[in-house]
C-alpha cells in the first residue's frame, strides 16, 4: 500500500473518531478532526490546502477548547455556583469518567451539588448550580460541534475552489 493511501485511511479514521468524539466527552473530538484534516492535506502534499489554512484550522481547534471550557464555567456561574461548586464539578467529571457516558453526564452535576452543599449552601441553590453545569456542558458541546463543522467546511472550500 502506498503512503498516500495510508494517509487517506488515517485521515478518514481520525475524522470519524473526531466526529464521534464531539459527543463522547472522553475523546478529544475537535483535536481528532483537526488531525484528520491535516492528514488529508498531507496526503495531497499540501498542494491544495496549505499551511495558512492549517494554521487557521489549528486556531479554530484551540478556540473550540477555550470556548468549551468557558461555557461550562459561565453556565455554572450564571446559575449561582461558587468556587466549591466549580471545583466539585471538575472533580465529578474526573470521578465520573470510569463510569462511561452516564458518569460523564451525571458526575459534573453531582460534583457541583456536592461542592455547593460542602460550602453550606441550601439544596435548591446547590441544585441550580448543578443545572448550570449541565447547561454549560451542553453549550460547550454545541460550540465544539459547530467549530468542527466550520473547520471541515473551510477545508472543503479551500480544497475544492
pLDDT in tens, 91-102: 998 898 888 878
Cα dist from 160 to 3, 8, 132, 154, whole Å:
22, 17, 42, 10
Over residues 28-61, the pLDDT tens digits come to: 999 999 999 999 999 999 999 999 999 999 999 9
Query: Which residue range is the domain that position 150 belongs to?
Result: 3-160
- Is residue 92 classed exposed, middle or buried when 0-12, 13-18 and 19+ CB atoms within 10 A define those classes? buried
At residue 73 the predicted structure's pLDDT band, cuts being 50, 70 and 90, is confident
The arithmetic mean of pLDDT across residues 12-16, rounded, is 97
pLDDT beyond 80 at 1: no
Q: By C-alpha distance, which of 99, 101, 89, 160 is closest to 129?
A: 89
Ranges 48-62, 109-123, 135-149, most confident: 48-62
Q: What pLDDT score was predicted for residue 54?
A: 97
Q: What is the pTM of this model?
A: 0.82
**Grid coordinates standing for 52?**
495558512
What distance in Å separates the CA atoms of residue 79 and residue 129, rounded to the nearest whole number? 5
The number of folded domains in the chain is 1
Residue 118: φ, ψ to 5°: -60, -35
* Mean per-residue pLDDT over the chain, rounded: 92
Amino acid at each position: 500500500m502506498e503512503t498516500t493511501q495510508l494517509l487517506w485511511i488515517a485521515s478518514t479514521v481520525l475524522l470519524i473518531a473526531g466526529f464521534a468524539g464531539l459527543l463522547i466527552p472522553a475523546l478529544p473530538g475537535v483535536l481528532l478532526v483537526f488531525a484528520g484534516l491535516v492528514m488529508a492535506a498531507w496526503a495531497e502534499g499540501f498542494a491544495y490546502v496549505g499551511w495558512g489554512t492549517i494554521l487557521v484550522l489549528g486556531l479554530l481547534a484551540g478556540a473550540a477548547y477555550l470556548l468549551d471550557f468557558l461555557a461550562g464555567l459561565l453556565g455554572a456561574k450564571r446559575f449561582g455556583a461558587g468556587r466549591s461548586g466549580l471545583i466539585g464539578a471538575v472533580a465529578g467529571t474526573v470521578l465520573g469518567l470510569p463510569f462511561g457516558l452516564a458518569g460523564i453526564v451525571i458526575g459534573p452535576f453531582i460534583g457541583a451539588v456536592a461542592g455547593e452543599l460542602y460550602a453550606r449552601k441550601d439544596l435548591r441553590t446547590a441544585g441550580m448550580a448543578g443545572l448550570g453545569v449541565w447547561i454549560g456542558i451542553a453549550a460547550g458541546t454545541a460550540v465544539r460541534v459547530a467549530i468542527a463543522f466550520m473547520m471541515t467546511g473551510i477545508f472543503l472550500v479551500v480544497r475544492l475552489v
